[in-house]
Structure 1
């Protein structure tokens, strides 16, 4: 499938590397706000052997419609900011181009616009699009339903300079009906991201833990989302929607 990528920060670069090395995707272009690296080849910049075009454009060089006329894509992957939706939303909706958004959060107005885009095409939105963290959240909710009497603790660890509480940890807390104040934080060194949920039973404990070793983990999640969204009808989906069928262990999922 042909894909386009918005955002080329640390995570965007890691995701681009995964896309370039995948046999399932062809990276048509990268769009970023900055003019830095404009018209550079992503494969050449990242040192990845690939014949894919993957040129970098600034968002004010082309309107999304013109860029899509020149280099059409099946899926737009967004690792930019909530403003990125303004660039491609109308074009994705009118052309039925699938969207995979990994934006951490949307303001209420932007979220309504995302839902508007999803009326005419398939949209996956996941603030943390790694497969592991989404599996962890589903498993944690199932365990809480099985044993609602357990004590639950959430611990998140990140790099020393990260000031705020992890958005993913807040999402885990909300999924388990816990307050944000219940989250324990650790800040040390260059930790990319660790989330752990501790279930304290009377005579045993269960620990569900996910660690992002490198940012390429987000690329694996993007590939999973892009692969599974193609057969869906128009609508707004979460990673949980795509993962839940796999919890039915009596049937194979394609």
Structure 2
């Protein structure tokens, strides 16, 4: 697979390069410029929304699929991505770990049974993460179908901890997902990139990618 990488010198960029070993990195975008050694089939972007316009332009230029893990996207950003998806496959998620996306499915199905419980979301990330609450916390909140309070912590080097707590006067249910390494997100990105090679144009979630792997 020939792939392009936006933010190749960042924390996630380095992790992606490591996990994508054996595939050809033919396009890099980082703080020093754009470096191209061939035409990418897929472009991966886990950087920040300030460079999203460049990423979309490159994907359109090369007809490349796109794996986008950038957080804090606006409604306008989503509209632009969906326009791009009319030409190429786009996989978008705020979290590319299998566990979080399965947790979303669980919450979507079973949260209605806990209607009488109070509920809140707690998320912890490294001190360098700029957006709060995290995109993942917002995804989990949306999966419950309820407008839940979200508590955000930014400390140390935590890759990502997310908990949702349901409680009434007699019992507590707490569900926690803990990412112990950024590698899990890079592995998810590789799976999504392979998905793009197998699919036509369209806007896809990582949940759809997970279900595809089970076929």
TM-score bin, normalised by smaller chain: 0.7 to 0.9
Rg larger in structure: 1
The answer to whether the 8 A contact 1:90-1:117 is kept is no
Divergent runs of 4+, >6 A: none
2:26 is aligned to 28
**TM-score, structure 1 normalization:** 0.72
Structure 2, unmatched stretches of 5+, are: none
How many pairs does the alignment contain? 213
User: Shift of the alpha carbon at 1:18?
Assistant: 1.2
The answer to whether the 8 A contact 1:93-1:118 is kept is no
Is 1:199 aligned to residue 166 of structure 2? yes
1:165 is aligned to 133
Per-residue CA distance 1:108-132 (angstroms, 9 max, x = gap): 3332221111101100111222222
User: Shift of the alpha carbon at 1:221?
Assistant: 1.1
User: Shift of the alpha carbon at 1:167?
Assistant: 2.7
Q: 2:122 aligns with which of 136, 149, 155?
A: 155
Per-residue CA distance 1:122-175 (angstroms, 9 max, x = gap): 001112222222222122112214444343231112235657332321222122
User: Shift of the alpha carbon at 1:240?
Assistant: 2.1
Higher RCO by CA contacts (8 Å cutoff, separation 6 or greater) = 2
Q: CA RMSD in A?
A: 2.6
1:15 is aligned to 16
**TM-score, structure 2 normalization:** 0.84
**3-state SS, counterpart of residue 230 of structure 1:** helix
Structure 1, unmatched stretches of 5+, are: 36-57, 247-252
The answer to whether the 8 A contact 2:45-2:55 is kept is no
2:74 is aligned to 107
